[in-house]
Amino acid sequence: MIKLSHVSHVFAGSQGEVHALDDITLEVRRNELVTLVGRSGCGKSTMLRMVAGLLRPSSGTVTVAGEPMGKPRQDVSFMFQRAALLPWRTVLDNVLLPVEILRLDRAAKRRRAHELLELVGLAGFEKRLPHELSGGMQQRASLCRSLIQDPLVLLMDEPFSALDALTREELSIELQRIRREQEMTVIFITHSIEEAVLLADRVAVLSPRPGRLRKIVDVDIPRPRTLGRNAYADRVAEVSAELHELLMPAPMASEGAA
Ligand SMILES: Nc1ncnc2c1ncn2[C@@H]1O[C@H](COP(=O)(O)OP(=O)(O)OP(=O)(O)O)[C@@H](O)[C@H]1O
């Protein structure tokens, strides 16, 4: 569904060139969820912006459903770290914003918006204004807004990172539920190893300066996945430890020697 072939990118920064990505080749299969992890500045957001058609690579190609990404598409949706709801519009009208921009069928999408709000636990809050909601509820509404156009591809740039740990886990479980009901290919950026393991079919680990694909880790743990006590806790711990080793620098040889 999503293919990056030999993608490199160099930004012309104010202090000289920044080699953000180097020779990235990655294929995300239809209906797969791939999480992107890596140290700050390793090029995760740059990669996502390319898949969204917001940025062209300096070299290499990016295709979605076989077509080169030259500009944003209606069936590719983006969700950011901040909910960025319009403060003067109700929750329902915020969810319906893409419907107005993309001129979709308003009556059908109103029904869909109610279904989505129900799915994320916001039924009854349709007429509230964003400031009347908690951060977690605002991000749930933002998730509904990203889903209203029934995207084939959902690109998520640290969407739950500003939330407390429990709300974050709750939203991760809701995202898994939504994916059971709706076919969707997802790329999800996170700094949290736990979140990466909860959500991913595969985790793509990037290394920094320049951003390179270090390893792809398969997460073959049955769903729905939760943290805490469960039948797969050992396997979750094992994959988390592997990711931790890939992301953290090796301890100095002299440490612990004495
Ligand atoms: N518009 C730009 N102009 C110049 N340099 C840029 C620009 N955008 C990003 N960069 C640089 O490219 C590199 C990759 O940035 P990017 O935001 O993709 O990293 P990231 O992995 O998403 O980081 P973080 O985890 O901190 O969000 C960084 O060194 C950054 O400073």
Provide the β-strand partners of residue 21: 9, 211
State yes or no: pLDDT of 144 exceeds 50. yes
Instruction: Report the C-alpha gap between 246 and 214 in whole angstroms.
Output: 8
Amino acid identity at 77: S
Distance CA 226, CA 235 (A): 12
pLDDT > 70? residue 252: no
* CB neighbours of residue 229 within 10 Å: 6
pLDDT range class, residue 179, cuts 50, 70, 90: confident
Helix, strand, coil fractions of the chain, as percent rounded to 5: 35, 25, 40
Ligand 1 site-directed mutation target among 9, 18, 157, 192, most atoms within 8 Å of CB: 18
Average pLDDT value for the chain:
91
First to last CA, the chain: 52
pLDDT beyond 50 at 257:
no
Nearest ligand 1 atom to alpha carbon 208: 21
**Residue in 25, 38, 4, 13 with CA at minimum distance from that of residue 158:** 38
9 lines ligand 1 (CB under 6 A): no
pLDDT bin (cut points 50, 70, 90) of residue 163 is confident
- pLDDT at position 92: 97
CA geometry: angle 127, 132, 137, nearest 5 deg: 85
Question: Structure pTM?
Answer: 0.92
Q: Is 148 helix (H, G, I), strand (E, B) or coil?
A: coil
Query: Of 22, 36, 37, 44, which is best to mutate to test ligand 1, by the most ligand atoms within 8 angstroms of its C-beta?
Result: 44
Residue nearest to atom 14 of ligand 1 (CA): 43
Q: Is the pLDDT confidence value at 256 over 90? A: no
SS3 for 32? Answer: coil
The residue that leads in pLDDT, 70 or 89, is 89
Is 43 near ligand 1, meaning CB less than 6 Å away? Answer: yes
Q: How far is CA 53 from the centre of its chain?
A: 16
Domains with residue ranges and CATH for the chain: 1-75+156-248 (3.40.50.300), 82-150 (no CATH)
What pLDDT score was predicted for residue 250?
67
Is residue 214 a contact partner of residue 201, using CB atoms and an 8 Å limit? no
Do the Cβ atoms of 63 and 153 come closer than 8 Å?
Answer: no
Query: Is the CB–ligand 1 distance for residue 18 below 6 Å?
Result: yes
Q: Tokens in use for 211?
A: 């951003």
| Prediction ipTM score | 0.97
Q: Is 87 in the pocket of ligand 1 (CB under 6 A)?
A: no
Residue 99 has pLDDT above 90, yes or no: yes
Helix (H) or strand (E) holding 186: strand 185-189
Please state the separation of Cα 130 from the chain's center in Å: 22
Six token digits for residue 92 = 């329902």
Identity of the residue numbered 150: D
Q: Of the ranges 64-73, 80-89, 121-130, which is most confident?
A: 121-130
